[in-house]
Structure formats: C-alpha cells, structure tokens
Amino acid sequence: MKKALISGVSGQDGSYLAEFLLSKGYEVHGIIRRASTFNTARIDHIIVDEQHEPGAKFFFHYGDMNDATSLISLIQKILPDEIFNLAAQSHVRVSFDTPEYTSNADALGTLRMLEAIRLLGLSDKIKFYQASTSELYGRVQETPQSEKTPFYPRSPYGVAKLYAHWVTKNYREAYNLFACNGILFNHESGRRGETFVTRKITRGIAQIKAGLEKKIYLGNLDAKRDWGYAPEYVESMWQMLQQEKADDYVIATGQTHSIKEFLEEAFKYTGLGDWQKYVEVDPRYFRPSEVDVLIGDSSKAKEELNWNPKIEFKDLVKIMIDADLRKLGIEVPGEGDKILQEKFPNKWWQKD
C-alpha cells in the first residue's frame, strides 16, 4: 500500500486530495497545525472514529511549515512514498499585511520540507509535489500563460511562491529528487475558503437569500481569472507524480472571466436579479499591486497527463451556489447537482 503525506490537509485542496488518494487505496497522512478553534471541518467526514481503528487509512499529525523539526520527525516516522506540499498562507491580499509570515511558511517552509527529505537520505525514495501557482505570472508577460512564460509576481505571496517553485526545481536538478511543480490557476468549490472572491459571492448570496445579510462588500470587480473546479485540479497533482519523469505543468481551463461576470451569472442563477443592487465596492479589499488578468494554456498537461477539465465557468458558479444554499438549508435550484451527477457518475468525494 502506498503512503502519502499531505501538508495543508485541512485546506480546500488538501481535503479533496486526501479523499482522492483514499479512493486510490493509499494510506494517507495529513499535517494539521494547532489552532484555538477546530480547523478540521473539511476533513471531519474522513477522520470519523477510524483514527485508531484497525484498518484505518487516514491519520493526522500536528506539525507546522515553520517548524523544521516537526517536518523531519514526521517524514522519518511515516516514510511516505509521496509528499504533497499544499500548506501555505494562501491569501494574496493578506500576504501584503503579513509578508514575513507568508514568506516563512510558503517559501522557507517548502525549503524545510525539501531539506528534511534530503537530510534523511530519502531523495531517491520520495516523490514530491509543490503547490505552485498562476500568481507567479502576475503582471503577465504573454497570453495565455504556459510553462514557458516568464514570471512577474505582484505580491509577497507570489514572490514567496516563486522561491518555492525554483527551489523545488533546484532540488530536482541538484539531488535528482522526483519533484514537480503544479502551476495551478484558480480553482474553487463549495470548500473554497470563505474570504476568496468566488466563495465570498456564493456564500453572500445564500446569506442574502436567508435574510441574514443585505449586501456583499467586494474589491476590484474588473480583475479576470481562469477559474476551474478544485476536485479536477487535485487529480492532476497525483497524475504528475505518476509520470516517468518529474516535470512542471500548467493546470487551467483556458477561459477567463471577470468578477463582474461571476456576479452576473451567480445572481441570474438564484433569481435575485440585478447584482448591482446587492454589491458595494469597499477599497479595503483593493491590493497595493493587482494581477489584472490570468488565462492558462494547459496543452502540456492535456498531452502528457491526459488531463482535461470537464467543469466550465457557468457550471462552477451553479455548483458553488447549490453548495452554499444547501449549507443554510435553503431550497436549491439543483442545476449544479445535476451537472455533477452527469459529469462525475463515479465521483470520489463525499460532499461538495
């Protein structure tokens, strides 16, 4: 049985990836950091009471990207076949407020993980996945962005992830570690963090419908993103580590839409009418330097990994709205559910 170690297992991607690997028969170990409140809501359904049961396949461990010893001892104890490094301070706006913390966790944290593998003499035994990002393209140097496009990050988060990207590549070249960078464009779901723009909108709409809120306060509505569906994106992470040779891949839909378009689609779907009645721009959410437009070219992943996303922009909006309405016990239009049933008859994740 293969063993995987996932940092950031309590996050959107980590929780889906854990479920995906369990469906593939892996023994899955996740790193969780200590918090003053419960932070396992996204994985509670896979933890259940099996943690100490014979035959259990999912285990979590306390650790932190800012604590090298915790990473070394976990890797030594678990001896995973594959490590997925997904832990990060992943909020771009917040990285302007906590640049040092973000750099420590996202840049040096990746180095700590790589050094742990090397110092334990496991460079030829472990495969390593790094959660790289389209934020590296920042002020874009060409359109669409591919693995060959030069980087120009625009935030402390982007700069920290640039270091992580290059140090991963360096350990591949210097120590022959099987290490891949997945350059993933934005991907969303019902599990998306509540302060990212798509989820802020879909959750805000559900709250308005429930009579709990009257308005949604947002920042720059003109930015454009290449948004895909998270479960499909985590599958690509695993696919990268199953190749003959380690490499870097862009994962994207190849379509781009503005925040305004997201609002239009979302309000139309829920029948609330004109979004402008419910949305106010609050400059607090502007960024000191913005990434205006991202659109990815994932032809390499299509060709080499056979990775083809099924969920398009309009589907994604409906899936996310259905999920947020359901969470508040409100009647769900159900088109999102139908799309999921049609496109993923054998879906491996248990909740959206």
257-258 and 228-229 beta bridge pairing: unpaired
- CB 265 to ligand G4F: min, Å: 15
Cα(186)–Cα(351) distance, integer angstroms? 20
Q: How far apart are CA 245 and CA 148, in angstroms?
A: 18
Task: Report how many residues bind ligand NAP under the rule CB under 6 A.
Answer: 26
Our finding on whether 131 is near ligand NAP (CB under 6 A) is: yes
Pairing state of beta strands 279-281 and 216-218?
Answer: parallel
Regarding 126 and contact with ligand G4F (CB under 6 A), the answer is no
5 part of the interface to ligand NAP, by CB under 6 A: no
Taking CB under 6 A as the criterion, the residue among 29, 112, 127, 200 binding ligand G4F is 200
Does 285 engage in binding with ligand G4F (CB under 6 A)? yes
Distance CA 146, CA 158 (A): 17
Angle made by CA atoms 264, 351, 248, in degrees to the nearest 5: 75
Whole-angstrom CA distances from 54 to 2, 28, 149, 254 are 17, 15, 49, 45
Q: From CA 181, how far away is CA 275, in angstroms rounded?
A: 38
Pick the closer one to ligand NAP by CB: 8 or 204: 8
* Nearest-angstrom CA–CA distance, 78 and 2: 11
Q: Which one of residues 29, 71, 82, 90 is an interface residue with ligand NAP (CB under 6 A)?
A: 90
Catalytically annotated residue among 102, 133, 198, 253 = 133
The C-alpha atoms of residue 16 and residue 21 are separated, in whole angstroms, by: 9
- H or E segment and range at residue 217: strand 216-218
Q: Going residue by residue from 74 to 103, which x/- string records binding to ligand G4F, judged by CB under 6 A? A: ----------------x-xx----------
The answer to the question of residue 185 lying near ligand G4F (CB under 6 A) is yes
User: For ligand NAP, which is the closer residue by CB, 235 or 270?
Assistant: 235
Short-list 180, 174, 162, 67, CA closest to 113: 67
CB atoms < 10 A from the CB of 49, how many?
Answer: 7
Establish whether the linkage from the previous residue to 144 is cis, with ω within 30° of 0: yes
Binding mask 30-69 for ligand NAP (x = CB under 6 A): -x-x-x---x------------------------xxx---
Whether residue 157 lies in the annotated active site: yes
Whether residue 225 contacts residue 187, with contact meaning beta carbons closer than 8 Å, is answered with no
Q: Can you tell me which of 10, 123, 168, 198 binds ligand NAP, judged by CB under 6 A?
A: 10
CA 174 remoteness from chain centre? 28
Site for ligand G4F in 242-271 (CB under 6 A): 259
Residues 288-327, interacting with ligand G4F (CB under 6 A): 290-291, 294
Q: Which is nearer to ligand G4F, 117 or 319 (CB)?
A: 319
User: Which of 99, 219, 254, 333 contacts ligand G4F by CB under 6 A?
Assistant: 219
In the numeric block, the tokens 């947002």 are attached to: 218
| Catalytic-labelled residue, pool 16, 26, 137, 157 | 157
Task: Provide the annotated active-site residues.
Answer: 133, 135, 157
Contact positions vs ligand G4F (CB under 6 A)? 90, 92-93, 133-135, 185-186, 195-197, 200, 218-220, 223, 225, 259, 285, 287, 290-291, 294
Contact positions vs ligand NAP (CB under 6 A)? 7-8, 10-14, 31, 33, 35, 39, 64-66, 86-90, 105, 131, 133, 184, 186-187, 193
